[in-house]
Amino acid sequence: MRVHKLTFAALAVAAGLSLTACQNDNAGTGQSEPSSPSTVSSGATASSSGGGSDSGSSDQGGAKNSAGTNSGGTGTVAGTGSNANAKVGKCRTDELEITAKDNTIDGDPDGTVVVTLTNHSGRDCTVSGYAGVDLKTSAGSLSAKRTGQQAGSAILKNGKSTYFPVNYPFNKSGGSGVRITGLVVTPPDETKSVTLNWPGAATLPVTDGSGSPVKVGPVGSAGQGG
């Protein structure tokens, strides 16, 4: 009986040691779990600096960021938009400062008013062709006729100016003629107009109804604004 008691006692001690070992193993596993996020964080840091086997994860994360955040997407769109917008748009009326100045030279058979178009849009734009020109007079509106000169196309840099002439006959009839009260300018390919003070001679001769005596040249055909 003493031998059996010793055997049972030995078995009880062995079982106790085994249970203790299992508890220690469980305790070790429980401590390792909080370290997992730290390991991932370290891996992410390493991959973002260009090292380690986590670089593949870094690449996937980068692709996700470029598709899912404004920073990546905006950069791509901005680059594409810049290339797509390489073609310069037309100058709009609201983007132009339009002024008129008498540029008649002594001895000329006709009077000349030069209209200046200055680009203040903050971007380059194209302007070409003929502007619409109408004189407001005491007898009604009088539209200028085109000279027929070939019109070129030009890029008007931001802050720069271009010019075109308006030619009109002097009133040498000795009569009061037709009084000019204003100048209406519509830039090429636009429908919005601006009305300016007329800087030229105060009157035009009375026409015989054969057509407008006022002529307008294409944009760029006047070399300077005076």
CB 164 within 8 A of CB 155: no
Q: Exposed/middle/buried for 111, CB within 10 Å: 0-12, 13-18, 19+? A: buried
Using CA atoms, how far apart are residues 72 and 62, in angstroms rounded to an integer? 9
pLDDT number for residue 175? 80
> Which pLDDT does position 207 carry in this prediction?
74
Of 86, 115, 88, 90, give the one whose Cα is nearest residue 214. 115
10-residue mean pLDDT profile of the chain (226 residues): values are 45 45 45 35 34 38 38 28 59 98 93 97 96 96 95 92 96 88 97 97 82 92 62
pLDDT at 151: 87
Q: Give 181's contacts (C-beta < 8 A, 6+ positions apart).
A: 136, 137, 138, 198
pTM higher than 0.85: no
pLDDT of the residue at 153: 84
Residue 124 is predicted with a pLDDT of: 97
110-142 pLDDT, tens digit each: 999 999 999 999 999 999 999 999 999 999 999
pLDDT value at residue 224: 54
